[in-house]
Amino acid sequence: MADLPAQVSIREVGPRDGLQNEDPVPTAAKVRLLDALSRTGVRRIEAVSFVHPKAIPQMADADEVWAKASKVDGVRYSALVPNSRGAARALDAGFTELEVVVSASDTHNRRNLNRSTASSLDDIAALIEMVHEAGATVEVIVATSFGCPYEGDVPPARVASIVDRVLADGADRVAFGDTTGMATPRRVREVLAAVRESQPDVPVLLHFHNTRGTALANILTALELGVTSFDASVGGLGGCPYAPGASGNVATEEVVHMLHDMGVETGVDLEALLDAARLAEEIVGRQLPSGVLRAGPRTRRA
């Protein structure tokens, strides 16, 4: 096994990506979850998204959630935006880290954003300029990087070409989304190799779903390839409203549990995280798929 990094950065996406696929949750409950996660030691949280309420009604109260949430020192909060109008709302709310999504699959992009991938890339170029003028940063998330439920396999070269374009347009960071859990370790290697061929030094973040049970294997593969930033969602909450079969994200507590046992630090208190996962389960009113939430950490004794 290749040497692993001593530390990784986990971005908790439960409050946004996790809740967008659930029945609408009361604002107060969203704030409780966001505040609980802020106290786990996680240093990055995707808090809300500024999308049109008709598109994602679960995020209609983004401004109110953010206004009422506790902002813990040392935690970097970000917001997802679909376009320049959403970016303006996020900036007005005080966010300095924004994320915008474009799909490597043209079909998924049209289902998700009602436009072609090429059209989205043109809009993102203008959005980046606007956000930079406001003193904030933009991360471009390339959805369906490892496969599309409509088109099937997505060529790694296409993912790499999108990265080349958004970096040329000024993107500060890039991330790769495994939108419906189609990634496997082989595909992780292929996508990273294609991207690094032309962009060897670009910092990347990987976002895996556990739809087919490969998320932790994919993370381990990425670790061996030097990736140190990952998304995860408390309890395994999440999915994609515009991707059939997109079940939950990889559970944050499962990632933390594995990494800590391998000597890789995350800065996260696993017991506090499990408390937050139990809260998430209470809020959504159903059992969440996290195995560590069910069984507890491997150190637990009967």
Just list the catalytic residues. Answer: 240
Tokens of residue 139, six digits: 């991360």
**Among 167, 271, 220, 235, which residue's Cα sits nearest to residue 17?**
235
Q: Identify the bridge partners of residue 103 per DSSP, sorted by sequence position.
A: 143
Under a CB-based contact definition with an 8 Å cutoff, are residues 117 and 151 in contact?
no
Extract the tokens encoding 21.
């696929």
Check if the beta carbon of residue 176 is closer than 8 Å to that of residue 191: yes
Tell me how far apart the alpha carbons of residues 63 and 196 are, in angstroms, rounded to a whole number: 37
